Structures are given as structure tokens and as C-alpha cells.
């Protein structure tokens, strides 16, 4: 490992200016300050160059000001100064990890903070402004942050036995208990193509299945088949939006004893965890994807990819780790 390097102080820079005026060599100045000649040479080369506003020559106070400004600028983009770290961050972003996940994994691996997620975000948007488009590596590939507007009507009145989300127990809303799921349908450009996405709120575990259509019957059949194989403690409730594909939700109540809840009209953000998951899946399955040329196994494998990514909210364990652990406990009970 390299030796720790201390930055030159203002006092040392003023001494360099005075000793330089006395005609001492670089080696002589270094001996006076307890620094190497190369350090003095680098200092003069960086901070004594002539500019449009400066005629040249070394001034200690000006050099200290320039060095401080340079450190402030460099600190904005740590990844620009560390190519190995930059390559590691880019590799994991390309794998679908978020900046928070990359920063947390690095901290856990090294036992200390290596880089913050905000530093990664700053560098991403800096590079995108330079037409390098690093933002495309983000899970949602968003160039700007913001909320979508509201539009269209709502089929609320056509959903029988509908219960609003405000009736969902706080223990589910606050993620204090496993078994509470959010569900949505992921649609594609070609008519009739859809993927059903199920997301468990506590462990962030995800399952996805290709659907023959967005009709309510095949959707409820898939939900009954999947949840029917789980212990009751891992399938307590489900939250949906107000799409007609979930109109048969009451079968979950009657056949599995699950409670069902629905978001307010035009408020899909109320089931934000599954919405965020769909945003991640869009990286692998963009809207233009033709599901007809992909096998169901290939589609479902994307859930394995999501479940293998460590999460900050899970102390950088993976969703698969936590869901598998809870499933084993439930089966042994």
C-alpha cells in the first residue's frame, strides 16, 4: 500500500515562495520543509503557470487558493479520479444495481465507506451532460426525476367487493410483517402481451409470469396457483390498482383467505414497490419486446436477477436470501 500523503499547508506554500526568491534549489527547499524535491516541483508546476489574469511566478497565498478550489472541484467527481473504482461502479450499474446498492455493497465489502450514492449520482448526471449518457445505466434510466401526471377514467365501480388501501393494516403498510404483496400487470407494445408481476413488501421478493392476455380470468388463475403453494403466513394480503384485470380478486378472499386492497383512482404510486420493480424489469424487457420469441423460462429468469441484487433496505442482503429464510421457517412451523 502507498504512503499517506499530506497536502501542503498555507504556511508551507508561503515558505516555498520565500525560499524560491532566495534562489534555493528544489532539493534545498524540500530539505527545509521536510518534503521531497518532486513534491516541490509538482507544486510549482501546478500553481505558478501564467494565465490571462496572472503574469506567472509562484505566490504562496494564490497557490493555496488554487489548490483548495481544485480539491473542491475534484471532490464533485470522485469516480473521475479513480478509474478502477469507476470501472467497478459502471460494471454493477450495468448489472442493474442502483447507486445505493453499489455504494452499500462496496461499504460492506471493504468495511468502510468507499463512495456515497450521491457521489455516484453526481458523476452519472455529469457524464450524461457530456453526452456520455451514464443515466441509461440507472434502473429506471431516467434523465430527470419527477412524477407522472394524471389522466383517463377509472373502472372502480366495476370491481366488486373492492376495499380501499386505507383499510390495509398498518403492520402491512409499515412492512412489519411478511406476506403482504403488491401486484401489477406489465404491458407491451404488441396487443395482448403481458407479464404479471408480484412483489412481497417486506423481503422485496419478486415473481413474474408471462400471461396469455390481460383478461381477469387468467390473471386470477395464476395468482391462485402461485399463492396456493405458499404457507398462509407468506400470503396474507394483496394490493392492486384499479385495472379490470384484477376484477376477480374476491376469489383470493374466498379460496385462500387473503385480504385484498386497491389503490385510489389515478394513484398507482400507492403501490410504489411493484411500480419500481417494473421500472427495473423494463431494462430487460422494454415495451417494444416481443414476448412471442421468448420462452416463459427466459421471462421468469428476470425475477431471479432482481432477487439476486443486494438492497440497502435489507442491509444489503438479497430478496432471495430473506424470502428463502422465511419460507424455510414457515414450512418447519
Q: Quick one: which of 50, 11, 55 has its CA closest to 34?
A: 11
> Model's pTM, two decimal places?
0.58
Read off the C-alpha cell for 23.
Answer: 534562489
> H or E element: which one contains 239?
strand 237-240
Number of helices and strands in the chain (H, E): 14, 5
Half-sphere exposure of residue 183: CA atoms within 13 angstroms, side-chain side = 27
Q: How far apart are CA 90 and CA 226, in angstroms?
A: 36
**β-sheet bridge partners, residue 240:** 262
CATH architecture observed for domain 161-332: 2-Layer Sandwich (3.30)
**Per-residue pLDDT tens digits of the chain, which is 333 residues long:** 344 457 888 899 999 999 988 999 999 999 999 999 999 998 888 888 877 777 778 888 888 888 887 766 655 677 887 889 999 999 999 988 989 999 999 999 999 988 988 889 888 888 887 778 888 888 877 776 555 554 555 667 778 899 999 999 999 889 999 999 999 999 998 888 999 999 999 999 999 999 998 899 999 999 999 999 999 999 999 999 998 899 999 999 999 999 999 998 888 889 989 999 999 899 899 999 999 999 999 999 999 999 999 988 899 999 999 999 999 999 987
**What residue spans define the domains of the chain?**
10-75, 78-137, 161-332
Amino acid at each position: 500500500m502507498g504512503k499517506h500523503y499530506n497536502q501542503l499547508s498555507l504556511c508551507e506554500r508561503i515558505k516555498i515562495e520565500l525560499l524560491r526568491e532566495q534562489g534555493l534549489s528544489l532539493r534545498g527547499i524540500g530539505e527545509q520543509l521536510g518534503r521531497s524535491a518532486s513534491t516541490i516541483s509538482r507544486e510549482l508546476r501546478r500553481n505558478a503557470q501564467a494565465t490571462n489574469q496572472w503574469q506567472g511566478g509562484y505566490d504562496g497565498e494564490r497557490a493555496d487558493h488554487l489548490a483548495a478550489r481544485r480539491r473542491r472541484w475534484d471532490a464533485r467527481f470522485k469516480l473521475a479520479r479513480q478509474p478502477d473504482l469507476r470501472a467497478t461502479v459502471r460494471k454493477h450499474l450495468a448489472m442493474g444495481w442502483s447507486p445505493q446498492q453499489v455504494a452499500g455493497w462496496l461499504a460492506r465489502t471493504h468495511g468502510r465507506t468507499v463512495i456515497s450514492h450521491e457521489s455516484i449520482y453526481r458523476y452519472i448526471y455529469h457524464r450524461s451532460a457530456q453526452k456520455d449518457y451514464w443515466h441509461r445505466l440507472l434502473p429506471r434510466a431516467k434523465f430527470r426525476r419527477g412524477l407522472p401526471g394524471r389522466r383517463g377514467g377509472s373502472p372502480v365501480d366495476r370491481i366488486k367487493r373492492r376495499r380501499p388501501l386505507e383499510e390495509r393494516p398498518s403492520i402491512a403498510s409499515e412492512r412489519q410483517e411478511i406476506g403482504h404483496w403488491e401486484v401489477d400487470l406489465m404491458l407491451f407494445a404488441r396487443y395482448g402481451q403481458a407479464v404479471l408481476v408480484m412483489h412481497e413488501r417486506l423481503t422485496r421478493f419478486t415473481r413474474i409470469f408471462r400471461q396469455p392476455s390481460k383478461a381477469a380470468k387468467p390473471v386470477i388463475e395464476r395468482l391462485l396457483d402461485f399463492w396456493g403453494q405458499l404457507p398462509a403466513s407468506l400470503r396474507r394480503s394483496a394490493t392492486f390498482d384499479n385495472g379490470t384485470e384484477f376484477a376477480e380478486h374476491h376469489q383470493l378472499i374466498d379460496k385462500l383467505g387473503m385480504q385484498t386492497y386497491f389503490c385510489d383512482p389515478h394513484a398507482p404510486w400507492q403501490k410504489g414497490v411493484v411500480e419500481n420493480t417494473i421500472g427495473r424489469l423494463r431494462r430487460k424487457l422494454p415495451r417494444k419486446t416481443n414476448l412471442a420469441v421468448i420462452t416463459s423460462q427466459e421471462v421468469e429468469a428476470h425475477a431471479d436477477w432482481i432477487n439476486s441484487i443486494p438492497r440497502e433496505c435489507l442491509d444489503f442482503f438479497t430478496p432471495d436470501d430473506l424470502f428463502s429464510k422465511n419460507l424455510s421457517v414457515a414450512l418447519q412451523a
